[in-house]
């Protein structure tokens, strides 16, 4: 199976994550791609099932059962992409040019998914001796809330979810993300929540009759900017992942220019490093604001809590995968990154987890997203060799 051809088919099926926006249309959500993947596994003759996470949004998992295998490998790649606003290329028309494939998701992470699917298909067709059993997971909603992988982990951790082909815990997981064929062994997590200020609405011709919630939020923002400046020095940086950070990414308030607004909200992104508590970091922010503000504000419940990947979680599996990469693509390295992946939640589910795939994070989410074809092919060969050589564990 050719990962290039598979990738072109994946790009041509939109699977845009709305990222919390109130939008609609055929390009949004993973439904069409999940159906496409179902047809792919049908044609391959591989057992598979869809596990609904939300109405119309599902994880799809397929299984290759190797004879006499003592090991099960989980290969995971997320189905969703970020939005396409501002792209300078047709996001859903895969173009092959100058050794690259262009299109939304080419790098993050349909390229990695294509490489995994090609390796999985080769396993099913060739049934090599000594192979591990392999679960191929295509999860939903990674870009916004990690709800797909959160539900996936419950299949082997929650007894009430028994009965799927993933009811037994895998022995090791490889998660597809653009790593330039290096191995990510540690990464940060993200806790995201809203802060709300309230006021009293009135006509804008008499603003002193009201309390402007946006002005109040301005004071909150000034405090948060100062907090973000001192945060990196207040917590010891992780040697691979760097410092903790805080950023405000979105603001909303007011109903019209001639009405003093009574509500304003902002969205916070707090990057958590290994060793931090993803929920407790909100308390630190609340305490700082309370100390510096003379009005009340509201911290809303987080929609995602930072879960990190520690470099102590994968051990000898990482060394082995690094050796396989060396055989296929030459010398590479272990590293930490500032962004998050599905690997952290899989690792929290008791499965040693590593992140590996084609492409560079520098190309992810860009206006002309692309992935190099040679890395697509090399990644697929690495996935295949790794799975075929660990059926009896590591020696």
What are the pLDDT digits (tens) for 97-150? 999 999 999 999 999 999 999 999 999 999 999 999 999 999 999 999 999 999
- Helices then strands, counting H and E runs in the chain, come out as 9, 17
Q: Is the CB of residue 249 less than 8 Å from the CB of residue 188?
A: no
CA distance 285 to 278: 12
pLDDT digits (tens, 9 = 90+) for 234-280: 999 999 999 999 999 999 999 999 999 999 999 999 999 999 999 99
Contact (CB, 8 A) for 343 and 173: yes
Q: Which residue segments constitute the domains of the chain, with CATH numbers given? A: 3-187+308-389 (3.40.630.10), 189-299 (3.30.70.360)
Rounded-to-integer distance, Cα 361 and Cα 146, Å = 18
CB count, 10 Å around CB of 136?
Answer: 28
The structure tokens listed for 76 are 């995971």
What is the pTM for the complete model shown? 0.94
With bands split at pLDDT 50, 70 and 90, how would you rate the model's confidence at 20?
confident
**326-338 confidence digits (pLDDT tens):** 999 999 999 999 9
Average pLDDT, the chain: 97
On whether the CB atoms of residues 214 and 253 are closer than 8 A, the answer is: yes
Does residue 325 surpass a pLDDT of 80? yes
pLDDT band at residue 373, thresholds of 50, 70 and 90?
A: very high
DSSP category for residue 308: -
Query: What percent of the chain clears pLDDT 70, i.e. is strictly above it?
Result: 100
């Amino acid at each position: 199976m050719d990962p290039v051809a598979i990738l072109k088919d994946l790009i041509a099926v939109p699977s845009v994550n709305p990222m919390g926006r109130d939008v609609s249309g055929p390009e949004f959500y993973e439904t069409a791609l999940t159906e496409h993947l179902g047809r792919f596994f049908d044609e391959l003759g591989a057992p598979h099932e869809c596990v609904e996470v939300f109405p119309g949004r599902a994880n799809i998992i397929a299984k290759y059962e190797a004879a006499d295998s003592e090991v099960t490998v989980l290969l995971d790649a997320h189905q969703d992409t970020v939005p396409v606003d501002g792209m300078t290329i047709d996001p859903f028309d895969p173009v092959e040019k100058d050794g690259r494939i262009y299109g939304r998701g080419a790098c993050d992470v349909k390229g990695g998914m294509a490489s995994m699917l090609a390796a999985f298909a080769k396993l099913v067709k060739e049934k090599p001796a000594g192979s591990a059993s392999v679960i191929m997971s295509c999860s939903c909603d990674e870009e916004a809330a990690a709800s797909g992988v959160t539900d996936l982990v419950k299949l082997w951790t929650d007894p009430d979810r028994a009965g799927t082909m993933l009811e037994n815990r895998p022995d090791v997981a490889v998660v597809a993300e653009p790593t330039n064929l290096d191995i990510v062994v540690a990464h940060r997590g993200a806790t995201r929540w809203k802060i709300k200020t309230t006021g009293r609405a009135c006509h804008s011709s008499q603003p002193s009759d009201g309390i402007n919630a946006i002005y109040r939020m301005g004071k909150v923002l000034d405090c948060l900017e100062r907090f973000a400046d001192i945060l990196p020095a207040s917590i010891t940086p992780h040697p691979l992942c760097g410092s903790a950070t805080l950023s405000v990414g979105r603001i909303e308030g007011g109903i019209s220019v001639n009405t003093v607004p009574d509500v304003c909200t902002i969205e916070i992104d707090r990057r958590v490093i290994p060793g931090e508590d993803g929920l407790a970091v909100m308390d630190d922010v609340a305490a700082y604001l309370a100390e510096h503000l003379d009005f009340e504000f509201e911290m809303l419940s987080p929609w995602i809590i930072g879960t990190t990947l520690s470099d102590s979680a994968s051990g000898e599996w990482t060394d082995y995968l690094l050796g396989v990469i060396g055989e296929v693509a030459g010398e590479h390295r272990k590293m930490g990154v500032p962004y998050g992946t599905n690997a952290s939640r899989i690792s929290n589910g008791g499965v040693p987890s590593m992140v590996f795939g084609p492409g560079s994070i520098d190309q992810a989410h860009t206006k002309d997203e692309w992935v190099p074809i040679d890395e697509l092919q090399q990644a697929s060969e690495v996935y295949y060799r790794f799975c075929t050589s660990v059926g009896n564990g590591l020696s």
